[in-house]
Amino acid sequence: MKKWTKALLAVAISASSLSVSAAPAELDRVITVVNEGVILSSDIDALKKTVSLNAKAENLPPEDVLEQQILDQLILEELQLQEAKRLGIRIDDSRLEQAIDGIAKDKNTSVKQLRSELKANGISWAQYRDQIRREMTISEARNAQVRRRISILPQEVESLATQLNAKNLEKVEYRLSHIQLRLDEDADKAERDSVSDNADEIVTELKTGRDFAALALANSKGPKALDGGDWGWMRLEEMPTIFADHIGNNGKGAIIGPFRSGAGYHILKITDVKGLESVAVTEVKARHILIKPSIVLSDEGAQRQLKLLTQQINDGDKTFEELAEQYSADSGSAVKGGDLGWQTTEIYVPEFKDTVDTLSEGVISEPFKTVHGWHIVEVLDRRQADRTDAAMQNRAYRMLLNRKFNEEAQAWLQELRAGAYVEQVGDENDDS
């Protein structure tokens, strides 16, 4: 028999138990009360059978231990669903269908084939959709509550990014060209200014396409001047320290400098590179207005307010900047007229990212909801950018976020459990 995920098996077992109507069956009973919710004996039975199917028999703990593990998990799931309800989190059909499409792609199948496989294993499409919606709801509640507990300092990101970058650059080879303009340490100000100006002029010429070798032959006082400044292929540990200190994540064709040492001014060009992965991304410049629902402002009220603001902008009565400064609940961007700056959309929450990615430039979106509240957003411009350095920073940030998220998620779940009213009112093994 093909193994299914925990969720799918639970649904399958639940479905099969409901289909056996000919034989007399004990009525479902409440086993545990969790705040205003309950856990039923059928919930425990379904998950117990799921675990038994997924695990080898010799790996299963004693029956009483397994039942307690299952009950603990169901209690935590129920508490997270209650938290999602309190936060107003709801997974609409559009997001649900997108998630199911993704599941089908991950399985290298189509949604139609997925439905057929589910049916063959006794799982109705409605039950499957309900289970996926439940898991998405729990995930979103957990993300919303845990992420606000996490603090990541810029120094932490920088330190980890430096470590990651050093490791990635270990096997990278660079072909460098070098121009050195000599300047004695005891040179007077006039001479220092003259050499500095000359270095700036050379860099300007290089950036307009002048041949590096020709400029090196004419100007350089470095050890490779007669070779057109060519130092050949080197790894970071093989090149002069002053070169290695300025390479960073620069790629092929980069002009670096001028920078100063005790011997004068230096200009580098990365003529070629082997083993370095560069990252080009699309950056989006967008602005938004955020309205947060409250006790006195419903979701419908927030939507209406944003539609009125959009109408004022389109009619020319007010500018986007003016209304963002006056109404937006995002204090960081409100003072800048709603401007979010140049960003890759991966930094945004899913609903915001999806809207920005699909929105045409100069168009104000329809009001839409995220975990932060209701938004309208306008895309001002898009551009391609080399984000190799930023990609490394983002990778470091994600690693730190994942580490801290797992720690904080456990702490949050413990707090939810400690603050909950949980009462066991029945034992599914009772004979009564």
209/144 Cα distance (integer angstroms): 51
Output the CA–CA distances (angstroms, integers) from residue 278 to 98, 252, 385, 392, 417, in the order listed: 31, 9, 11, 10, 46
Answer left, alpha or beta for residue 373, where phi above 0 means left and psi between -120 and 50 means alpha.
Answer: left
Average pLDDT over residues 306-315: 96
% of the chain residues with pLDDT over 90: 50
- Distance from CA of residue 36 to its chain's centroid? 34
Q: What is the pLDDT of residue 368?
A: 96
Q: Which of 318, 321, 292 is nearest to 305 (CA)?
A: 292
Classify 328 in phi/psi space as left (phi over 0), alpha (psi -120 to 50) or beta: beta
Name the percent of the chain lying above pLDDT 70.
Answer: 89
**pLDDT band, very low/low/confident/very high, at 59 (cuts 50, 70, 90):** confident
| Helix or strand (DSSP H, E) at 41 | helix 41-54
pLDDT value for 277: 67
Q: For 128-142, what is the mean pLDDT?
A: 89
Q: What is the mean pLDDT of residues 65-85?
A: 91
Q: State the chain's mean pLDDT as an integer.
A: 86
Whether the predicted pLDDT of 379 surpasses 80: yes
pLDDT tens per residue, range 159-212: 988 888 777 777 789 999 999 999 988 889 999 999 999 999 999 999 999 999
- Sorted by where each starts, the structural domains of the chain and their CATH numbers stand as 6-149 (1.10.4030.10), 171-274 (3.10.50.40), 280-386 (3.10.50.40)
pLDDT of 24 > 60? The answer is no
Choice between 57 and 247, residue whose per-residue pLDDT is larger: 247
Within 8 A by CB and 6+ apart from 48, the residues are 66, 67, 70
pLDDT in the model for residue 54: 63
| Strand, helix or coil for residue 180 | strand
If phi > 0 it is left, if psi is from -120 to 50 it is alpha, else beta; for residue 341 that is left
For the cut 50, the answer to whether the pLDDT of residue 142 exceeds it is yes
Q: How confident is the model at residue 219 (pLDDT cuts 50, 70, 90)?
A: very high
> Residue 6 pLDDT more than 70?
no
pLDDT digits (tens, 9 = 90+) for 197-217: 999 999 999 999 999 999 999
Prediction pTM value: 0.47
Burial level of 107, CB count in 10 A (0-12/13-18/19+)? exposed
pLDDT of residue 345: 92
Q: Is the pLDDT of residue 122 over 80?
A: no
What values do phi and psi take at 423, rounded to 5? -135, 125
Question: What integer pLDDT is reported at residue 53 of this predicted model?
Answer: 62
Check residues 185 and 231 and name the one with the higher pLDDT.
231
Phi/psi at 154 (5° precision): -55, -35
Is a pLDDT exceeding 80 seen at residue 3?
no
* CA 269 to centroid of chain Cα atoms: 34
Of 9-18, 95-104, 338-347, minimum mean pLDDT range: 9-18
Instruction: Specify whether the backbone of 339 is left (phi greater than 0), alpha (psi in -120 to 50) or beta.
Output: beta
pLDDT at 381: 95
Mean predicted confidence (pLDDT) in 256-273: 92
Give the pLDDT score at 278: 67
325-336 per-position pLDDT tens digit: 999 999 999 999
Query: pLDDT value at position 193?
Result: 92
Q: Which pLDDT value is given to residue 244?
A: 87
